[in-house]
Amino acid sequence: MAPILSTRHPLTLFLLLTAFSNGCTAMTGVEAVSNGVPAFKPPESKNAAATMLTMAVLAITMFIGITLLAQAYHVLPSEQETVVSQLARGVFGPGMLYYAIQAATMLILVLAANTAYADFPRLASILARDHYVPRQLMNQGDRLAFSNGIVGLSLFASVLLIAFGGDTHALIPLYMIGVFVSFTLSQAGMVVRWRRLRGPGWKTSAAINGVGALVTGLVLLVVAITKTHEGAWVIILLIPLHVLFFRSTKRHYDVVTRQLSLEGWQPNGERRNIVIVPVSGIQRAVVQAVEYAKTLSTDVRAVYVDIDTVSTTRVVQEWTRWGQGVPIVPLDSPFRSLMEPLLEYIALVSQECPGCYVTVVLPEFVPARWWQHLFHNQRALLIKGALLFTPNTVVTSVPFHLRH
């Protein structure tokens, strides 16, 4: 494939700003140092500053060297071969040193990709600590890494790769917008911080960060204008959506914190516990559940939904032998529904005793094999789901394990 041919454009201010913006993109990556300051050895700020200075010196040296070599060997950008590959081939020839340069370039790219995995989970944990993202992102795994953040980043990266057809060049505009938004906000935030603290030399520090915010904001504006049609509109749309998500998450956690606070809370005193045991028939799982229910309260009631008069009569008769003194309440079901009469009875009990707890004890038998669950209905799960949002109602399962 032939090299990319250059086109002539008039030298305008906007063209210079566009070139400057593209050059600034090559400098991205230094934010990983600022994001990871807590991970450095003490003194953290001094070591982080030394690392950033080293990165700056290396970047400037490599930029000057590559520029001079590109001029000397007349290297032009090509879709077939990278500039670094062309330079290595021209300087060292097609030998071992050439492949060593290619291998080193690959390792650098791998480390660059690892930067997101090193810093995003840590940054997400900080946001989770401040209640702006789900708290699960604050949890550390067995290897003391923020595993949920790593998994989430992998999923989002996979979605982007699939959406853009695996073309990593098409993802660069998204990266540029995101990076310079964070640069601009961080620099502007430091200006606000210096003005708020007003410590020694705060005006100089605020001026430096103000210039940084102005430059990165200008770059952001140019990149947004020039790269929108190349796919940057995606990140421009996602940023305000993320802000809305952060604010709604924060609002949710604030509401939860206020409602769980013990401020102004008074004990309700001793409260009754009415225990209800739904009965589907006379068998061991039911008898075992009744035994457990009697340990919770003296007010235990068994209920049986009457959808067949003959079956109901038989169950009531057998209950006198196996019910252990617990009364059974037949519930009429004119439409042969099992759930509605039970839920109506539980609601009626709650209305009769507003300050009481209502505990629903569900007899469940557990098959010996997991696949044997397919042969049995999951009525207990339906009852749990229906009562999940009912106040003062507790659902307890009493498992009866079947043998092989």
Pick the closest to residue 66 from 23, 4, 107, 28 (CA basis).
23
299 is a domain residue = yes
Measured CA to CA in angstroms, residue 232 lies from 204, 235, 242, 255 at distances of 35, 6, 15, 35
210, 239, 262: which is the final residue of a domain? 262
Angle (CA) 233 235 237, round 5° = 70
Which run of H or of E encompasses 98?
Answer: helix 96-129
Judgement on whether residues 277 and 383 belong to the same structural domain of the protein: yes
Residue 338 to residue 277: CA distance in whole angstroms:
14
Do 252 and 349 fall within a single domain? no
Q: Are 232 and 177 in contact (CB under 8 A)?
A: yes
Contact between 223 and 233 under an 8 Å Cβ cutoff? The reply is: no
Question: Could you tell me which residues come within 8 angstroms of residue 353 by beta carbon, excluding any fewer than 6 positions away?
Answer: 272, 274
Q: Is residue 88 part of a domain?
A: no
- Collapsing DSSP to helix, strand or coil, 17 comes out as helix
Q: Which residues contact 280 (CB under 8 A, 6 or more apart)?
A: 286, 304, 363, 379
Q: Are residues 258 and 291 in the same domain?
A: no
Let me know whether 286 and 246 are in one domain.
Answer: no
Asked if the structure places residue 180 within a domain, the reply is yes
Tell me which residue range forms the domain holding 168.
164-262
What letter does residue 282 receive in the DSSP assignment? S
- Residue carrying the six token digits 């300050």: 355
Q: In this predicted structure, what is the pLDDT of residue 78?
A: 78
278 & 381 share domain: yes
Domain end point (choices 262, 284, 315): 262
Q: Say which residues have a Cβ less than 8 Å from residue 192's Cβ, sequence separation at least 6.
A: none
CA angle 352, 355, 361 (to 5 degrees): 80
| Residue 284 sits in the same domain as residue 373 | yes
Q: What is the pLDDT of residue 8?
A: 59
Looking at the fold, whether 312 and 381 belong to one and the same domain comes out as yes
- Per the domain annotation, does 268 fall within a domain? no
- Dihedrals phi, psi of 275, to nearest 5 degrees: -105, 130
Indicate if 293 and 339 belong to the same structural domain: yes
SS3 of residue 144 by DSSP: coil
Domain co-membership, 239 together with 321: no
The answer to whether the CB of 280 falls within 8 A of the CB of 316 is no
Measured in degrees and rounded to the nearest 5, phi and psi for residue 394 equal: -115, 135
Same domain assignment for residues 217 and 279: no
The predicted pLDDT at position 119 comes to 80
Does residue 125 lie in a domain region?
A: no
Amino acid at 67: T
> What per-residue confidence (pLDDT) applies to 370?
79
Distance between CA atoms of 175 and 171, rounded to whole angstroms? 6
Please count the CA atoms within 13 angstroms of the CA of 135 that sit on its side-chain side. Answer: 6
pTM greater than the 0.85 cutoff: no
Helix or strand run (H / E) with residue 294: helix 284-294
Report the CATH number that the domain containing residue 322 is assigned in CATH: 3.40.50.620
Residues 7 and 2: their CA atoms lie apart, in Å, by: 15
- Walking along the chain (404 residues) 10 residues at a time, the average pLDDT comes out as 52 72 68 75 88 86 88 83 88 91 88 80 91 91 83 91 82 81 90 92 93 89 81 85 95 92 79 92 91 94 91 91 93 86 92 90 85 76 88 91 81
The number of distinct structural domains making up the chain is 2
Query: Does residue 93 fall inside a structural domain?
Result: no
In a domain, 10, yes or no: no
Residue 27: what pLDDT?
66
Structure tokens at 186: 């961080």
pLDDT at residue 372 in the model: 77
At residue 208, the pLDDT reads 94
User: Which of 262, 285, 312 lies at the terminal end of a domain, its last residue?
Assistant: 262
Give yes or no: residues 241 and 334 share one domain. Answer: no
Kindly tell me the burial class for residue 248, based on how many C-beta atoms sit within 10 Å of its own C-beta (0-12, 13-18, 19 or more).
exposed
Residue 1 in domain? no
The per-residue pLDDT for 1 is: 41
The answer to whether residues 201 and 302 belong to one domain is no
In 3D space, the residue among 96, 111, 132 whose CA is nearest the CA of residue 243 turns out to be 132
